[in-house]
Amino acid sequence: MAEISLPIVSVPAHIQHPPLSEAQEQELTDKIKRLLKEKNAVLVAHYYTDGKLQKLAEQTGGCVADSLEMARFGTETAADTLVVAGVKFMGETSKILNNEKRVLMPDLNATCSLDESCPIELFDAYCNQFPDHTVVVYANTSAEVKARSDWVVTSGIALEIIEHLAKKGEKILWGPDQHLGRYVQRVTGAEMIFWPGSCVVHEEFKSVALERVRRLHPEAAVLVHPESPENIIQQADVVGSTTAMIKAVKEMPNKAFIIATDKGIFSKMKEVAPDKILIEAPTVGEGATCQSCAACPWMGMNSLSKVAAILEHGTNEIHVSPELAEKAYIPIKRMLDFAASIRK
């Protein structure tokens, strides 16, 4: 089998959005509310985006959610336009599921290191070497990669789907997040091979430094997103999607939590559990530097000003050709139907 040589993903610097006065922020928020109504549009935001966007999404009948729920919400709303504040794969998934709707994104450069590390030509060649494997891809992929797969999964449903496939005796080719894939394999015992991609944000959590923080806060529960490396996951009390992590902060009796995921999630956590102490898992350790520092630079590209601008001008529309959407729809719909069947 040929070695996979991954493309080098260049990680942008964090965008510094121009600061807004209270009055400017109010004016923008009012403008977005008016435009959403006028255009019969909804705002669908991920938990890693700016807290102000998350709040606005909720106040205006949109949603703030993990990537599974964002996909589902788009199929259930009566709005004609979905404004997806997140990263490219989220906008594409919305478009694939709702080809008749207009999908706009605040910044078309907002991508994801997992998506970028898995170009279709290389992934297709890899899959072709293992024709007897079921191809399961993480939602953090392009429409083309989804169209090449049998199943799409998000972190919120990956364990259940792989368990289901393993029970049927299927061998799995998993891509692109190797850490999530290996975690799922350890839990389910499924026979799996892996595309060697990773998330630049979660890759930076440091295990020795985390042990130290745990010693300083022995009462704290450790919550870890499964895109993190194995030595971080091993220290977790809870491993789960962004939604599962927020639920844990709300429902677990602990007073303090150490959180290993993008710090954008803290705004929702503070809202649902204002009395709890939230501690960032460390991203620096001996001799290490952090590039992302627990803040996804692509998620950070979303802002109130950009949402107002795209709504006003109808720009930054996501296009997926109907032929491609038709193919990519099948594995995504399979995931949504499976999720609905086990959560009845």
Residues that bind ligand 13P (CB under 6 A): 66-68, 140, 154-156, 199, 227, 241-242
Nearer to ligand 13P, 239 or 304 (CB): 239
Identify each DSSP E strand in the chain by its residue range.
41-46, 63-65, 81-85, 102-104, 134-138, 151-153, 172-175, 192-194, 221-224, 238-239, 256-260, 277-280
Stretch that binds ligand SF4, among 15-23, 112-120, 153-161, 243-251 (CB under 6 A): 112-120
Helix then strand then coil, in percent of the chain rounded to 5, is: 45, 15, 40
Stretch that binds ligand SF4, among 15-23, 124-132, 193-201, 318-326 (CB under 6 A): 193-201
DSSP string, 133-163: SEEEEESSS-HHHHHT-SEEE-TTTHHHHHH
Least distance to ligand SF4 from the beta carbon of 171, Å? 25
Query: Which residues, in sequence order, are CB contacts of 169 under 8 Å at separation 6+?
Result: none
Q: Determine, following the binding rule CB under 6 A, whether residue 260 of this chain makes contact with ligand SF4.
A: no
Stretch that binds ligand SF4, among 150-158, 216-224, 252-260, 296-304 (CB under 6 A): 296-304
Structure tokens at 150: 């049998």
Q: Going residue by residue from 200 to 239, which x/- string records binding to ligand SF4, judged by CB under 6 A?
A: xx-------------------------x------------
- CA 293 distance to own-chain centroid: 17
Q: Determine, following the binding rule CB under 6 A, whether residue 65 of this chain makes contact with ligand SF4.
A: no
* Cα Rg, the chain, nearest whole Å: 20
Least distance to ligand 13P from the beta carbon of 237, Å? 17
| Residue 273 interacts with, from ligand SF4, ligand 13P, none (CB under 5-8 Å by kind) | none
69-88 residues in contact with ligand SF4 (CB under 6 A) are: 87
Least distance to ligand 13P from the beta carbon of 247, Å? 12
Give the number of other CB atoms < 10 A from CB of residue 281.
28
Structure tokens at 315: 């720009």
